Chains A and B, each alone.
Chain A
Amino acid sequence: MDVGLRNEDLLQNILLRLPAVSLASAVRVNKSWNKACNQILNRPKLVTALSNSSSLHVAVKEILDEVLFEPIRPHFAVAYVDLKFDLATTHRLIAKKLGSQIPIITKAATGIIGMDAHTNEIEEANQMESPGNDDPNIGRIYTLFGHFNYSGIVLVVGFVWTQS
């Protein structure tokens, strides 16, 4: 097997099909694998996903699975989080997966739009003023599709450079 995988084009063709976590293993195999992985990530890259699951744990899992499905090395992450979810908890869940070494910004958003991690369709969640609701954090949310009490997270993960 070794002989064939010295063919750089073939090796790259194989490695670019790996998800982010497997790429992180592949980059440590040897120098030629390292080079091939770095050529796959040879320019800055952003990957983004949206989940509108009403469960925070499900939503975070969905967006992380989606952004890490393709080869990327997380250098920073920005999460736009529905007011309904607790920011600190969301931040902790994302940091648990992406590690403690990169900057992660977790920000409350009043309206979010993005590609649904589940259906791959563009979805929008608009949060609107809800008269008569005492808790400002639990507003009624209207979407393009007319759902109520909608929730969601958009996660953007960025790769900036390769250390050579």
Chain B
Amino acid sequence: MSTAATADASSSGDTTEGSVRLLTLQSEDGEVFEVKETIATQSVTIKGMVDDDCATSTIPVCNVTGRTLAMVIEWWNKHEIGAVSNEKELKEWESQFDTIDDKSDRDDVYDLLMAANYLNIPTLLDCCTSAVAEAIKGKSTDEMREFFDIKSDFDEKEEDALRKENQWAFEN
């Protein structure tokens, strides 16, 4: 039985480290990362590929740069079962992602948000969406537009109607 199993693994051409299979991920800008399958399957997208046996060659991670993918892998490593000794330590480590103080934080969180969405990583997606929500809490409409570089596409009449409808929030 064990001989047969070994033969199977070697014939499939997978890279293995001990008994753990390594997956090869390639970022949009061509950077290549080798990641343990047990870690990378925190991504529901990658898990689906592994389950369907589509993860035997290099997996292209479109729309995600090498810089962001490295951050994602760091996230996976920290969230691997047994990687950190307690929940408090994990929360402390996560806190670097959940505050947006300046433009570079904003862009990092944004890149991670897109990667988390594409790769379907629920824990990272939750952290990033709540970071963005925290950042815009308490901001005025104009401040929100400025924060996201958004221009209003309402005409004057629509703006007026919306201002009236939401007047209660700005009366004091």
Interface residue? A31 (CB, 8 A): yes
**How far, in angstroms, from A80 to B101 measured CA to CA in the complex?**
42
How many A-B residue pairs have C-beta atoms within 8 angstroms? Tell me.
100
User: Which chain A residues (7-44) contact chain B, with CB distance < 8 Å?
Assistant: 7, 9-10, 13-15, 17-22, 24-31, 33-34
Interface residue? B132 (CB, 8 A): yes
Question: Quick check: B150 and A30 within 8 Å, CB to CB?
Answer: yes
Q: What are the interface flags for B105-146 relative to A under an 8 Å C-beta threshold, 1 for contact and 0 otherwise?
A: 011001001100100000001000110110011111101110
Check A17/B130 contact, CB under 8 A, given A7-B117, A29-B145.
Answer: yes
Question: Quick check: A31 and B153 within 8 Å, CB to CB?
Answer: yes
Interface residue? B167 (CB, 8 A): yes
Interface size class of B (residues with CB under 8 A): 35 or more
**Which B residue sits closest to A31, measured CB to CB?**
B153
User: Considering residues A2, A22, A34, A74, which has the most beta carbons from chain B within 10 angstroms of its beta carbon?
Assistant: A22
- List the one stretch of A98-106, A112-120, A123-131 in contact with chain B: A98-106
In-complex Cβ contact of A99 among B110, B117, B130, B171 (8 A)? B171
Question: Quick check: B137 and A18 within 8 Å, CB to CB?
Answer: yes
Interface residue? A132 (CB, 8 A): no
Question: Quick check: B162 and A28 within 8 Å, CB to CB?
Answer: yes
Interface residue? A163 (CB, 8 A): yes
- Residues of chain A with a CB closer than 8 A to B117's CB: 4, 7, 9-10
Question: Quick check: B168 and A30 within 8 Å, CB to CB?
Answer: no
**Which A residue sits closest to B140, measured CB to CB?**
A25
**How far, in angstroms, from A1 to B148 measured CA to CA in the complex?**
6
Question: Quick check: B129 and A163 within 8 Å, CB to CB?
Answer: no
- Residues of chain A with a CB closer than 8 A to B130's CB: 17
How many chain A residues have a CB neighbour from B under 8 Å?
36
- Residues of chain A with a CB closer than 8 A to B106's CB: 1
Question: Quick check: A30 and B137 within 8 Å, CB to CB?
Answer: no
**How far, in angstroms, from A9 to B144 measured CA to CA in the complex?**
18
CB distance from B11 to the nearest CB of A (A): 41
CB distance from B63 to the nearest CB of A (A): 10
User: Considering residues A27, A28, A98, which has the most beta carbons from chain B within 10 angstroms of its beta carbon?
Assistant: A28
**How far, in angstroms, from A96 to B168 measured CA to CA in the complex?**
9
User: Considering residues A1, A4, A5, A99, which has the most beta carbons from chain B within 10 angstroms of its beta carbon?
Assistant: A1
Question: Quick check: A22 and B149 within 8 Å, CB to CB?
Answer: no
Question: Quick check: A97 and B172 within 8 Å, CB to CB?
Answer: yes
Interface residue? A140 (CB, 8 A): no
- Residues of chain B with a CB closer than 8 A to A74's CB: 168
CB distance from B171 to the nearest CB of A (A): 5
Check A4/B162 contact, CB under 8 A, given A17-B130, A17-B133, A20-B169.
Answer: no
- Chosen A-B contacts, 24 in total, with CB atoms closer than 8 Å, are A2-B148, A4-B114, A5-B148, A9-B117, A13-B125, A14-B132, A14-B136, A17-B129, A17-B133, A20-B169, A21-B138, A22-B137, A25-B144, A25-B166, A26-B144, A27-B166, A28-B154, A28-B166, A29-B150, A73-B165, A73-B166, A97-B168, A97-B172, A100-B171
Chain B residues in the interface with A (C-beta under 8 A):
106-107, 110, 113-114, 117, 125, 129-130, 132-133, 136-141, 143-145, 147-154, 159, 161-163, 165-172
Which 6 pairs across A and B sit closest by C-beta, in order of nearness? A99-B168, A24-B169, A17-B133, A24-B166, A28-B141, A21-B169
